[in-house]
A and B are shown apart, each in its own frame.
Chain A
């Protein structure tokens, strides 16, 4: 794992010291809120509905056990004993007091963590495939690329005041688990015909008010050109991006209004100028970073204990069949720990659970933990022989829910339970859907189905790319939930289509049940997942199930 060098360490400590003074000056009245707000946002401190919220960056979702334990300590000492993992692979603490935040930042710095650029119109935390370094289908670990971009973008003098926030995601595999097509820049590690490594670069993806799928701006970028090319993209956007209208300020609108070919030409021109100014120092740093991400020394282990447990214990089998993914080594597996116990808040973990995961990672997973954008925690490398022990440990901590990728593995943003921007709640809807399908004992039969819920049009819950997307709105002073179907966040990215009128908070769960009922009725066997049935049949059968009254009217007419 990457370790801070002296520069990183000094920089983070200096920022903590600065912010400590800024808080003091805010409290003694020398800074007004207007002056203080941009400063606190630069340090990830938001003021939400019921309290302040501190957003901590987890670069490319990678944590070591000591960092996870420190998050647990922070949750207990200065917050309310839990943390919320977000769709940007970050963690948020929902209850800090203003006067405690400097100490929290200090505690984060102790384990090489910070909150810098988790807010504001800057390049945000760079995200990556949560199976990075472990996935069987991967060309290369995307995290060295993400770390290089992190170093380049952190405190980049030209990019602290962009037209709007800017998000970058990296994947090293063809199968996209990092939703790169919904990012301002999406990067995919590829190999060309000659076997040379490089990047496919996409720009202009994004969700929110105007959802768009990213477009390829460069099909193959040689490895050595990454930073100058990214710098060219961001600087063209910095000039061109609209500052007159917040809703049109993201690069997706710039690309849309300028046209991909024209903006590509501008980027190439800028790149030609910038390329020579990168003297190769970036290449050397990249090589050093790559060394820091060398895989652990895997142990050879006979998988017999796994096979035996799978045969003997149906609970273990259900978990293993649902929560494991293929590791690049056959005698290892990738474990997804579900933070979606039925009825619990998606993405929340208590301090005790954080410690349990840290201990398991240390004992069985070579000290590695990842946070997924789907708000789960990953143990990327576990010897199959150790899986029964890991499962037992997770069970003890209330973390052994076997539902990864199923209908109760819901992404939900904080919504109006916490977020000041929300137009409706999302957490209770997720809780009710999960509880309902658990009661029905149907979810394993339903199979792969991703529900994603946002509490407002900003779409932090990625609802546009949910197989079933739910958007909470305020309709004349009442919470109302709009449904979209057919969204997809993978390499086949698609924006979901609205079904029609929305549903009240009381009616939304039955509505989801009707959609699922229509799927079960129409699917061509259990092998056809929801999304495929939707693609084959389109909206009609789902609409008929959702709006039976409209159907009757049409029939009567």
Chain B
């Protein structure tokens, strides 16, 4: 029995800044997960990951992370991915500080 494919997003760390980024439908990398492309088809997900892995000049360590559809866009399902959308819990630093820029 093959496992059913669950929705994913492509995510990675930006090469220069090192922070978490997600692949959007228009091939850009975004710093806000809700703007990422939610991948519901396995073959399509593989193709998107291949695209990401082929961009070593922009991102590092691309992988597929579980996600679900939310009112504003994709949301994380695992706490690790949730932390990546925000930053550390001991200081208001990282994404939760509202620092934003393009990759």
Contact = CB atoms under 8 A, between A and B. Distances in A.
A98 B15 contact: yes
A99 B16 contact: yes
B33 to A, nearest CB: 13
Contact of A47 (B57, B60, B80, B88): B60
A50 interface: yes
Contact of A50 (B15, B19, B60, B79): B19
A51 B17 contact: yes
B89 interface: yes
A50 B20 contact: yes
A50 B94 contact: yes
A50 to B, nearest CB: 5
Interface string A319-353: 00000000000000000000000000100100000
B80 A416 contact: yes
Contacts of B56: 29, 32-33
Interface string A384-419: 000000000000000000000000000000001110
Contacts of A94: 88
Given A47-B60, A97-B16, A417-B89, A477 B84 contact: no
A404 to B, nearest CB: 21
B79 to A, nearest CB: 6
A94 B19 CA distance: 11
B83 interface: yes
A456 to B, nearest CB: 11
**Among B13, B77, B80, residue most surrounded by chain A Cβ atoms (within 10 Å):** B80
B18 A27 contact: no
B78 interface: yes
A425 B89 contact: yes
A10 B77 CA distance: 50
B16 A98 contact: yes
A52 B18 contact: yes
A418 B93 CA distance: 11
A97 B60 contact: no
A479 B79 CA distance: 8
B60 A417 contact: no
A50 B18 contact: yes
A99 B14 CA distance: 12
A50 B87 contact: yes
Contact of B83 (A49, A96, A97, A99): A49
Interface string B8-26: 0000010111111000000
Contacts of A417: 83, 88-90
Interface residues of A, number: 32
A95 interface: yes
B61 interface: yes
A478 B18 contact: no
Contact of A478 (B79, B83, B91, B93): B79
Contacts, number: 73
Contact of B60 (A29, A33, A348, A474): A33
A428 interface: yes
A119 B78 CA distance: 29
A316 B57 CA distance: 56
A422 B80 CA distance: 9
A29 B18 CA distance: 17
A94 B91 CA distance: 12
Contacts of B93: 50, 80, 95
B83 A416 contact: yes
A49 B87 CA distance: 8
A127 interface: no
Contact of A29 (B19, B57, B83, B89): B57
Given A418-B88, A477-B78, A27 B19 contact: no
Contacts of A96: 18
Nearest to A46: B18
A97 B13 contact: no
A377 to B, nearest CB: 19
Nearest to B57: A29
Interface in A1-37: 26-27, 29, 32-33
Contacts of B20: 49-50
Contacts of B89: 417, 425, 427-428
A252 B81 CA distance: 34
A431 interface: yes
Contacts of B78: 477
A479 B56 CA distance: 32
Contacts of A431: 90
Contacts of A428: 89-90
Nearest to A428: B89
A219 to B, nearest CB: 45
Given A33-B60, A99-B16, A478-B79, A50 B90 contact: no
Contacts of A479: 79
Contacts of A345: 90-91
Interface in A255-300: none
29 contacts: A26-B15, A27-B15, A27-B16, A27-B57, A29-B57, A33-B56, A33-B60, A47-B61, A49-B80, A49-B83, A50-B18, A50-B87, A50-B93, A51-B94, A80-B91, A96-B18, A97-B16, A97-B17, A97-B18, A99-B16, A345-B90, A348-B90, A416-B83, A417-B83, A417-B88, A417-B89, A418-B88, A428-B90, A479-B79
Given A49-B20, A474-B79, 7 more contacts: A26-B15, A33-B56, A47-B18, A95-B93, A416-B83, A417-B90, A477-B78
